Structure 1
Amino acid sequence: MKFSIVITTYNRLSLLQRAVESALNQTVPCEVVIADNASTDGTEAYVHSLGDRVEYRRNPSNLNHAGAVNAGVEAASGDWIKLVDDDDYLAPHCIETLMGAIAQHPQAVICSCQAAQVDTAGQELSRTPITGPGKAFYIPQAAIHYGMLLEQVPFGTPIQVAVQREALIQSGGWDLTMTSCDDIDSWTRVAELGDALFVNECLGYRTVWPGGYDQKIDLQQRLNTNLLIKTRIYERIHPTYRSQIPSLSAIQKYLQLHWGLVAVKQRQFSQAIAVALPAMISFPAWKQLYQARKQRNYQGSPSAVPKIALF
């Protein structure tokens, strides 16, 4: 099994250096690919100074995050791809641990792990919760989208996820038309091709920025994108679980409540009313919101999704 670490970057040289060092210092050797969205800050010279320790793919223009991911995957030669954004970094034993888990369940095409959220000074703010039994477990393919719909299968952001390269390519790569949630959209399609694997160990570090990109997107647009993703997941639910899921209308109203509460937290009260009002009298929507909040706040909570321990 060969791993390629694909690091996407654009004009963040100091952060990129930290990400590259974490990739080159893995406890097992792996290919390191840097996908550069036409940086103008000295990134290209830095990468060339690394010689043959890395593979370099420079896009002729900024193709946004999805375009950089696709370029990096195309340049990679590993059986598995570990994605890293330039402001994130890996624990030294990340790849070794993932390889050990995948070897126990080669039917998997996607593997997620815990990650720590850190501030710009590198101080840990929070950590993604334990999501199932044992140090590692898998979810059969037929149950993945059901679990994603009910938010009991949290694949997470790129720093948490590794993907089988063949499955990523077969699923069509990352969608260049997505303005956000391009990662979740990709996981949704990859998950049609095999089982999902989870490692309950912190193997990556994700930088949380004040006023980050997602926070600048209009709440209505974020709601619309969230609903688009949920609809794509809904369409992929295995027949085994069709009778157990809420209606798409109930899902939509639940999302309206969720984003209404986000608007309240941000003190955008008029937008909160506009977003949440259509769902305020929907009991199924409130029930779904309660269940989602309970799932997020209770580590190791029981689930209708089969989670099978490996070790």
Structure 2
Amino acid sequence: MLDIMLPHYGELPLLKIAVESVLAQTDERWRLTVFDDNPVERVTGVPEYFAALGHPRVRYERNPANLGITRNFQQCVERAEAPFLNMMGCDDVMLPRYVERIHALIEQHPDAVLVQPGVEVIGTDGAVVRTLADTTKRRVYAPKIDGTVRMVGEDLAVSLLRGNWLYFPSLTWRTSEMQAVGFDLDLKVIQDLKLILELVTRGGALVADSDVVFQYRRHNESVSSSSAVTGGRFSEARAFFLAAAEAMDAHGWRRAAKAARWHLSSRIHALTMLPAAAKQRSAGSVRVLTKYAFGKPH
């Protein structure tokens, strides 16, 4: 059984596409739980949609009070019961063979703590797109994966600290390990990388596969994108990478510590945000982004 935990914040049309993509799975070894944390008092039609759905393996809960993104993520982790869990986005799409492929990979690699299946990126309209961010991720930072690759230890940490090439909503996690670590509730946009690195330092293995079974929807108006333009993302990122460098040093992983101090992909990302910040005439954001992109490692 795979627990698919879906933290919801958006509108009904994209949520229905996400849910229906789960219902269309070729392998029925899944259970879907939706935690509705939309800050709007009540999004029209969402509770009614799930009530009408009446599926025995689909559960819907409206949070009594708004938790915010990271606390809702943590709730998903704490409430999971199956040996493995996925935390898909409320606007993403599981292709029909996602659950089938995940179970096959887990059977082939029973020690896996993380599974990264093949992913394609779609836009708001659902069409497959090629963005600069995703092209850079795949051609510059991501390892070349043809088939299935198992990664572990400092080599994996170095790879992720140079550039996080994983797609968080597509990942399947070992529930017990995720519950043992949990999310850092003080982080807003880089909480997934911190959790993953902690799992890696605990000895967790990542299995990456090239078989495309998931569609990740890319929105310019996402939390991470909007905070990037204002520079907020990079204030958080700088503190995170410096702390990660100290943690890698303490673990005896010198190459990983060096990669954390330089965090080159994150610096390049800041450079790409400078034109948008300048266009918004935000002097404060320009200063934050410039300092982050060109600052010396510590």
Whether these two folds match at TM > 0.5 is yes
Percentage identity across aligned positions? 19
In the other structure, the counterpart of 1:296 is none
Question: Are the counterparts in 1 of residues 157 and 256 from structure 2 also a CA contact under 8 Å?
Answer: no
Deviations along 1:117-161, one digit per CA (max 9) or x if unpaired, are 21221111126737334311111234322222222x622232x21
Change (3 A) 1:214 1:133: closer
| Correspondence list, 1:26-175, <5 A | 26-29=25-28, 30-37=30-37, 40-41=42-43, 42-51=45-54, 52-126=56-130, 129=138, 131-151=143-163, 154-158=165-169, 160-172=170-182, 174-175=183-184
- Which stretch shows the higher mean deviation, 214-223 or 5-14? 214-223
Q: How far apart in 2 are the matches of 1:125 and 1:254?
A: 21
Deviations along 1:168-206, one digit per CA (max 9) or x if unpaired, are 10012x233222222223222333331111111222112
In the other structure, the counterpart of 1:242 is 254
Q: Which amino acid is 1:220 matched to? A: G
Change (3 A) 1:95 1:228: farther
Q: How far apart in 2 are the matches of 1:69 and 1:200?
A: 26
Q: Measure how far apart 1:262 and its partner are.
A: 2.6
Q: Measure how far apart 1:75 and its partner are.
A: 3.1
Q: How far apart in 2 are the matches of 1:43 and 1:36?
A: 9
Q: How far apart in 1 are the matches of 2:215 and 2:222?
A: 16
| Correspondence list, 1:15-34, <5 A | 15-29=14-28, 30-34=30-34
Q: Which amino acid is 1:75 matched to? A: R
In the other structure, the counterpart of 2:219 is 209
In the other structure, the counterpart of 1:8 is 7
Equivalent in 180, 183, 190 of residue 181 of structure 1:
190
Question: Are the counterparts in 1 of residues 162 and 263 from structure 2 also a CA contact under 8 Å?
Answer: no
Q: Which amino acid is 1:34 matched to? A: V
Q: Once superposed, what is the RMSD of the aligned Cα atoms?
A: 3.0
**1:228 matches 2:239:** yes
Change (3 A) 1:43 1:146: same
In the other structure, the counterpart of 2:290 is 276
TM-score with structure 1 length normalisation? 0.77
Structure 1, gaps ≥5 residues long: 286-311
Deviations along 1:24-82, one digit per CA (max 9) or x if unpaired, are 21111111111111661232222222222312333111212222222233333211111
Question: Are the counterparts in 2 of residues 57 and 71 from structure 1 also a CA contact under 8 Å?
Answer: no
TM-score with structure 2 length normalisation? 0.80
Q: How far apart in 2 are the matches of 1:228 and 1:15?
A: 34
Q: How far apart in 2 are the matches of 1:225 and 1:93?
A: 36
Q: Which amino acid is 1:223 matched to? A: F
Change (3 A) 1:114 1:78: same
Structure 2, gaps ≥5 residues long: none
Change (3 A) 1:176 1:49: farther
Q: Which amino acid is 2:72 matched to? A: A
Question: Are the counterparts in 1 of residues 234 and 270 from structure 2 also a CA contact under 8 Å?
Answer: yes
Question: Are the counterparts in 1 of residues 37 and 68 from structure 2 also a CA contact under 8 Å?
Answer: yes
Q: How far apart in 1 are the matches of 2:248 and 2:96?
A: 37
Question: Are the counterparts in 1 of residues 117 and 210 from structure 2 also a CA contact under 8 Å?
Answer: yes
